[in-house]
C-alpha cells in the first residue's frame, strides 16, 4: 500500500534545515525544518547517548601562524600530529617573556583544551586573563597535572605516541586563551626550547569534547540550529522530536560544585558532598557529578539537600528532571523538591542511567527550594548517586534536556512543514496518515496532528486532538465547512504509539485510528479545498501537537476503509 503513497516521510535522512522524505526521491517532498537553537537542543542519538549542539569559539584553531598573537615565540607547521597527520605545530621559545594567545571574551562554564607533546621542553601551561589570572600546568613527559589555580579544574589524557589532551575548566569571564611552553610546573623562565601543539578548542561545558576545526569563524558540530532531531529514546527506530519553546530555569545544569547550588542540611543531617566530573554521564563523557547525601537521623526533619531557591507563585506548575545513577551499583534513593515541596515520591537510582521527572503545582507564593534531597524518614537516609542535566521548566511536563552553564537558556520551538506540493496532495480526494507517539496526557489546548492547507486557515484539511482528548477531523474551503466531526470517545490516557489515517473525498469522509473507524460521514457537498502545504504536528506554525512523529504519508486517492484499517493497525 505504501507504494501508492505520493509522499513518505520516515525519519531517517536530514541536514540543517531539512528533513528528507523517502518518497518522492527527487527532493520535492522534503520538509523544511526550523528551530533556531543549537546550544539549547539535545537528543538521544543512535548510540543511546545525549547529543548536544557544540561550538569551538576559537578562530584558526589549528592555524597558529595567523590570528594568534605571539610574543617571543614562533610556530612551525607540518609536524607529526596525534592523529597520524602532519598537522601539528612546533611552538618554540625565542627569548623570555613569551606567550601565544588569542583574545576571546567568554563567560560562565568553559573548557579550553589543546593537544600537546613534549619537545625539548616538557611542560605546557594553559592560561586565561580577565580578573584573577587562571592557569594550569601539564607535565608532558609523565602525563600528570601540575598546579591549577583559579579554575574549576583541569585534566590530562594520554592519546598515545607522547601526545596528551590537556584541558582547563573555568567558570568566570575571561578575555583570552594563552599557550605557554614551560620548563617546569608554573615555570616560564625558558629562553629557548619547544613543545608540539595541535587543535585548540574553547567550548561551553565541563569537558573537552571531540575537536571542531575552525578558520575565520567559529564552527559548530552536533545539533545545529535548524537540524531535525531524530531521537532514539524509544529504541532503534527514531522519532522526529517536535517540542515547544522551553527554558531551563536552572543556571547550572551540570556544574553543581559552585555556590549557585545550595548544599543544605536540616536537623541532624549533613550537607551533601559534591564531586564534579566524577564519572561518565549519559552524554558519554566525564562530566557526571557524584552527590553523597546523608540525612544522618531518622525523622523527616533530618535532611541533606542539593537545592536552589526561587521565588514562585501559587498555581504555577513546574516540571523538574535529572539523569540519575547509583554510584556504587547498589540501589539508592532520592527525592525531588519543587517549590519547597517533596514531590514525586522516592526515586530509585540503579546502576543504569535513568531520567527522573516530577511535576508539581505550587500551592503558596513564597521563595523556597528546588532540587534534590534525602530525608531521615526515607527508606534509607543515605544516598550516593551520580547526577547529570538537572532541569527545571515552568510547564506541566518535561521536555528534552537544555544544557545551562551560567544563565537560564531557552530552546525555541521546532517547526516542520512543506510548501508547494499541490502535486503530491490529493486535490479532490486523498488520505493523510500519521504515526505519532503519545506522551502528553490531559492537555487543555487543541493540538494539530497535521494540516493540509494553502498557507491560510480558509482552505484546510486537519486532524487534531481536542481539549477533551478526542480526535477532531475538519475540512473546509473558502466557502465554509465541508466536514467537521469528532470521535465519540477520548483517545485514552495511556502513553504509546497511535496510527491515524484521515480520508477525504466529496461527501465521503472517514478517520481510522489504531485499526478502528472512529469518524465517518458525508458532510456538505462542495469542492475539496485546494491545498499546497503540509504541516506536520502543527497548523501553519501554531496549535502544535508536541509529540514525536514516527512517520507520515500522503495518498492522492481515497483508500478503502479496509485499507485504512490495515494501514492503521498497530
If one asks whether residue 411 binds other proteins (CB under 8 A), the answer comes out as yes
Q: How far apart are CA 97 and CA 191, in angstroms?
A: 8
3 state SS of 565? helix
Asked whether the beta carbons of 102 and 68 are under 8 A apart, the reply is: yes
Q: How far is the CB of 230 from other proteins (least distance, A)?
A: 19
Instruction: Provide the Cα torsion 559, 562, 563, 568; round to 10°.
Output: 120
Residue in 212, 326, 402, 554 binding other proteins, rule: CB under 8 A: 402
164 - beta bridge partners?
116, 158
Asked whether the beta carbons of 138 and 185 are under 8 A apart, the reply is: no
Q: How far is the CB of 329 from other proteins (least distance, A)?
A: 31
x/- string (CB under 8 A) for other proteins, residues 262-301? xxxxx----x------------------------------
51 CB-near residues (< 8 Å, 6+ apart) = 42, 43, 44, 45, 222, 223, 283
| Secondary structure letter of residue 213 according to DSSP | -
Binding range to other proteins, per CB under 8 A, among 79-87, 172-180, 509-517, 551-559: 172-180
If one asks whether residue 135 binds other proteins (CB under 8 A), the answer comes out as yes
Q: How far apart are CA 57 and CA 477, in angstroms?
A: 51
3 state SS of 54? strand
Which helix (H) or strand (E) segment holds residue 273: the answer is strand 270-279
Binding range to other proteins, per CB under 8 A, among 491-499, 514-522, 537-545, 551-559: 537-545
If one asks whether residue 466 binds other proteins (CB under 8 A), the answer comes out as no
x/- string (CB under 8 A) for other proteins, residues 356-375? -----------xxx------
Cβ-based neighbour number of residue 492 at 10 Å? 12
Question: Grid coordinates standing for 558?
Answer: 481515497
Asked whether the beta carbons of 532 and 414 are under 8 A apart, the reply is: no
Binders of other proteins: how many residues, by CB under 8 A?
64
Nearer Cβ to other proteins (87/413) = 413
Residue in 28, 32, 71, 215 binding other proteins, rule: CB under 8 A: 71
Residue in 113, 220, 281, 359 binding other proteins, rule: CB under 8 A: 220
If one asks whether residue 408 binds other proteins (CB under 8 A), the answer comes out as yes
Nearer Cβ to other proteins (326/465) = 465
Residues 226-245 that bind other proteins (CB under 8 A): 245
Nearer Cβ to other proteins (49/188) = 188
If one asks whether residue 409 binds other proteins (CB under 8 A), the answer comes out as yes
In the numeric block, the cell 525531588 is attached to 336
Please choose, from the candidates 413, 359, 390, the residue with its C-alpha nearest in 3D space to the C-alpha of residue 246.
413
Asked whether the beta carbons of 470 and 490 are under 8 A apart, the reply is: yes
Q: How far is the CB of 57 from other proteins (least distance, A)?
A: 9
Which residues contact other proteins by CB under 8 A?
36-41, 53, 55, 71, 99, 101, 103, 105, 107-108, 125, 127, 129-131, 133, 135, 173-176, 178, 180, 186, 188, 218, 220, 225, 245, 247, 251, 262-266, 271, 305, 307, 309, 311, 367-369, 402, 406-413, 445-446, 457, 541-543
Amino acid at each position: 500500500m505504501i507504494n501508492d503513497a505520493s509522499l513518505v516521510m520516515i525519519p531517517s535522512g536530514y541536514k540543517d534545515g531539512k528533513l528528507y522524505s523517502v518518497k518522492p526521491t527527487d527532493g520535492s517532498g522534503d520538509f523544511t525544518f526550523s528551530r533556531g537553537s543549537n546550544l539549547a537542543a539535545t537528543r538521544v542519538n543512535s548510540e543511546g547517548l545525549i547529543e548536544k549542539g557544540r561550538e569551538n569559539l576559537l578562530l584558526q584553531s589549528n592555524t597558529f601562524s595567523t590570528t594568534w598573537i605571539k610574543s617571543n615565540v614562533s610556530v612551525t607547521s607540518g609536524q607529526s600530529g596525534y592523529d597520524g597527520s602532519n598537522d601539528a605545530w612546533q611552538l618554540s621559545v625565542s627569548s623570555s617573556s613569551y606567550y601565544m594567545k588569542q583574545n576571546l571574551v567568554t563567560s560562565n562554564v568553559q573548557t579550553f583544551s589543546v593537544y600537546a607533546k613534549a619537545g625539548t621542553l616538557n611542560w605546557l601551561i594553559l592560561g586565561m586573563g580577565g580578573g584573577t589570572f587562571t592557569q594550569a600546568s601539564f607535565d608532558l613527559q609523565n602525563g600528570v597535572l601540575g598546579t591549577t589555580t583559579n579554575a574549576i579544574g583541569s585534566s590530562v589524557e594520554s592519546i598515545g605516541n607522547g601526545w596528551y589532551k590537556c584541558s582547563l575548566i573555568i567558570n568566570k569571564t575571561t578575555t583570552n586563551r594563552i599557550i605557554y611552553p614551560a620548563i617546569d610546573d608554573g615555570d616560564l623562565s625558558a629562553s629557548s626550547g619547544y613543545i608540539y601543539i595541535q587543535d585548540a578548542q574553547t567550548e561551553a561545558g565541563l569537558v573537552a569534547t571531540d575537536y571542531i576545526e575552525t578558520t575565520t569563524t567559529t564552527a559548530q558540530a552536533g545539533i545545529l540550529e535548524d537540524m531535525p532531531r531524530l531521537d532514539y529514546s524509544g529504541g532503534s527506530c527514531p522519532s522526529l522530536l517536535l517540542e515547544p519553546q522551553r527554558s531551563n530555569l536552572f543556571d547550572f545544569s551540570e556544574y553543581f560544585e559552585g555556590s549557585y547550588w545550595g548544599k543544605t542540611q536540616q536537623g541532624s543531617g549533613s550537607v551533601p558532598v559534591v564531586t564534579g566530573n566524577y564519572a561518565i554521564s549519559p552524554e558519554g563523557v566525564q562530566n557526571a557529578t557524584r552527590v553523597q547525601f546523608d540525612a544522618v537521623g531518622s525523622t523527616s526533619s533530618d535532611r541533606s539537600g542539593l537545592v536552589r531557591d526561587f521565588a514562585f507563585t501559587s498555581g504555577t506548575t513546574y516540571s523538574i528532571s535529572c539523569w540519575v545513577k547509583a554510584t556504587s551499583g547498589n540501589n539508592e534513593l532520592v527525592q525531588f523538591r519543587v517549590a519547597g515541596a517533596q514531590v514525586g515520591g522516592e526515586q530509585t537510582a540503579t546502576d543504569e542511567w535513568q531520567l527522573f521527572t516530577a511535576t508539581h503545582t505550587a500551592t503558596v507564593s513564597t521563595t523556597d527550594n528546588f532540587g534534590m534531597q534525602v530525608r531521615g524518614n526515607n527508606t534509607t537516609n543515605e544516598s550516593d548517586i551520580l547526577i547529570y542535566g538537572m532541569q527545571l521548566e515552568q510547564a506541566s511536563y518535561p521536555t528534552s534536556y537544555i544544557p545551562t552553564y551560567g544563565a537560564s537558556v531557552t530552546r525555541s520551538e521546532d517547526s516542520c512543514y512543506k510548501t508547494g506540493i499541490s502535486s503530491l496532495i490529493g486535490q479532490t480526494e486523498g488520505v493523510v496518515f500519521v504515526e505519532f507517539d503519545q506522551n502528553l496526557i490531559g492537555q487543555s489546548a487543541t493540538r494539530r496532528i497535521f494540516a493540509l492547507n494553502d498557507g491560510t486557515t480558509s482552505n484546510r484539511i486537519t486532524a487534531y486532538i481536542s481539549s477533551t482528548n478526542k480526535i477532531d477531523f475538519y475540512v473546509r474551503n473558502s466557502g465554509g465547512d465541508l466536514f467537521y466531526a469528532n470521535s465519540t470517545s477520548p483517545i485514552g490516557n495511556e502513553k504509546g504509539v497511535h496510527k491515524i489515517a484521515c480520508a477525504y473525498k466529496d461527501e465521503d469522509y472517514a478517520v481510522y485510528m489504531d485499526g478502528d473507524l472512529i469518524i465517518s460521514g458525508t458532510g456538505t457537498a462542495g469542492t475539496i479545498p485546494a491545498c499546497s502545504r503540509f504541516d506536520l504536528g502543527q497548523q501553519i506554525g501554531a496549535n502544535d501537537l508536541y509529540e514525536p512523529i514516527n512517520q507520515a504519508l500522503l495518498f492522492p486517492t481515497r483508500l478503502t476503509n479496509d485499507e485504512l484499517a490495515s494501514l492503521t493497525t498497530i
